[in-house]
Structure 1
Amino acid sequence: MSFPYSGLHCSISDMRPLIEAHRGDSSNAPENTLAAFRRALGSGVHSIELDVHPAMDGTLMVIHDDTVNRTTDGSGYVWDMAVDELLRLDAGAKFDRTFAGEKIPRLSDVLEMVVPTPVLLNVEIKATPAGALVPQNVARLLRRFGKEREYIVSSFDLSSLLRVRAIAPEIALALIGNGPEVLASARRHGFPWIHCNYRTVDKGLVTAAHGHGVRVAVWTVNHPDMLPYWRALGVDKICTNRPALMLAASGGLSRSSAA
């Protein structure tokens, strides 16, 4: 059986679990930047996760927090800032001076980098006071970059996922949260994925999810020596800040070796 996502053509049992780079290769480059995504792609990772917030005009910016304070040399809420203002900020130097000048990317910038590759892209929508139009804008932008391509849109916010489905029902959806609660909701709404805090996942949950056709991802797992445990549980994806190390621990089954 071939794995249906992102042009990965090998046994699904061999591929489990997929390794997903959390905010890119965020242990070796500033999170949610093109540098982090470039390094993740170079590692042979199967999937990349990122977060989006809207700029003042609604442009989708790739950043985890609702403010720029933690990761850049600026301050303020993302949605209170113009795109040009956001693009002038340095999103790299706080991580390491060698990344000085790295910028907050637009989602469109990341799509231009990732879409030509076979890597699965997981776009997390943050529920914020300024984010009412974000689900619609995400769905439309992903469609513009390739309706036939596989994506995952994830969120803690159920209503955001339902708004994505209303515009682009072909996009796979993932509810984020604690295992038992998100599984019940995913079953109710027909979502193909749940993305769970790893502390809330056990064999019973994975078995129940698979019995209902729901795939299970765990976050955020950074210790390669735990990979055999998660593989034994049968989880489908591991979200990690250390993708290269997790890939090495998985026996070297990278995207490039699996294609």
Structure 2
Amino acid sequence: MTYAFTHRGVRTGLEENTLIAFQRAVDLGITHLESDVHASADGTVYLFHDETLDRVTDATGEFSTFSDTQLAAVRAGDEPLCTLDELLDAFPHALVNVDVKDERVIGPLAELIERRAAHRQIALAAFATARTTAVANLLSAPIRRSPGQREMVLIWLCAHLFGWVPRRLIHNFWAVQVPLKQGFLPVATRRFIRAVQRAGAQVHVWVIDDEPRMRLLMERGVDAIMSDNAPLLVKVLGSQA
């Protein structure tokens, strides 16, 4: 059975990664939330994608230079910004997949996970595996992770050339998180999905917002789909036998 991730929450405008955006997803019955994390100048972990505030807020400048007091006045689509603590408080039974966006958030994120004993509630992802490894090395218990781009290239090559993935490439990872295609190159093929699953990891595909591709991935047996269109994804997944 395929399950749903909401990608930065359900939004009608610029309120991505805000508490109300994730509340809408949870109200649909979604229990797997995807977000991005940056640290403020005070070392607080926030849900935020970009390096700067410019695109989705009423402020401008580099996120990491703003204090918590300054960020409290910032609005994204008229909504306040949300810390990871606030999200975990609001949805204690959700699994939160966080993209570790840069090195500055590594220490604060690890401190938060340890303080809250949130090792089973949070999963780590990043473009570079070194960032998730750095967080994991600061923790007192194992945590779910997905590989970065370099490892994914090796996994993809093994899956498509040989039809199998060596367990040594994947044994540290809970899931691989990939696009359906990278440019014209197919990634989440049936062969790839089966090879990764046989090696012991899940396959999550992002970001899928239309019904034909959702159904294609369900038919291929993908474990999870990340989407900006959570209402549609919930509807389509509801048709599973």
TM (norm. structure 1) is 0.79
The aligned runs of 1:25-104 (5 Å cut-off) are: 25-27=10-12, 30-92=15-77, 100=78, 102-104=79-81
Query: For the Cα contact (< 8 Å) 1:29–1:35, is it kept in 2?
Result: no
Say yes or no: does 1:235 pair with 2:235: no
Letter in 2 for 1:123: V
Q: CA deviation at 1:29?
A: 6.9
SS of residue in 2 equivalent to 1:73? coil
Distance 1:201 1:34, change over 3 A: same
> Quick one: percent identity of the two aligned structures?
25
Alpha-carbon distance in structure 2 between the residues aligned to 1:250 and 1:188: 27
Of 92, 97, 100, the residue aligned with 1:122 is 97
Q: Deviations over 1:171-229 (max 9, x none)?
A: 10012549951636982562121110121211111111011101110100001232221
Of 136, 143, 146, the residue aligned with 1:165 is 136
Q: Deviations over 1:54-109 (max 9, x none)?
A: 111221121110000011110000011111111101212xxxxxxx2x11111111
**Aligned equivalent of 1:143:** 114
Say yes or no: does 1:197 pair with 2:193: no
**Aligned equivalent of 1:245:** 232
Where structure 2 has 5 or more consecutive residues not aligned to the other structure, the ranges are 157-165, 182-186
Query: For the Cα contact (< 8 Å) 2:122–2:144, is it kept in 1?
Result: yes
Alpha-carbon distance in structure 2 between the residues aligned to 1:71 and 1:28: 9
Letter in 2 for 1:146: A
What's the C-alpha RMSD, in Å, of the aligned pairs? 2.3
Distance 1:62 1:148, change over 3 A: closer
SS of residue in 2 equivalent to 1:163? helix
Q: CA deviation at 1:53?
A: 0.9
Of 19, 39, 61, the residue aligned with 2:4 is 19
Alpha-carbon distance in structure 2 between the residues aligned to 1:176 and 1:113: 29
SS of residue in 2 equivalent to 1:194? strand
Alpha-carbon distance in structure 2 between the residues aligned to 1:29 and 1:74: 13
Distance 1:158 1:39, change over 3 A: same
- Deviating above 3 A after TM superposition, structure 1's stretches of 4 or more consecutive aligned residues are 26-29, 146-150, 176-180
Where structure 1 has 5 or more consecutive residues not aligned to the other structure, the ranges are 1-15, 93-99, 254-259
**Aligned equivalent of 1:3:** none
Alpha-carbon distance in structure 2 between the residues aligned to 1:252 and 1:176: 32
Aligned residues: 224
Letter in 2 for 1:103: P
Of 175, 183, 197, the residue aligned with 2:147 is 175
Alpha-carbon distance in structure 2 between the residues aligned to 1:217 and 1:188: 14
Distance 1:150 1:54, change over 3 A: closer
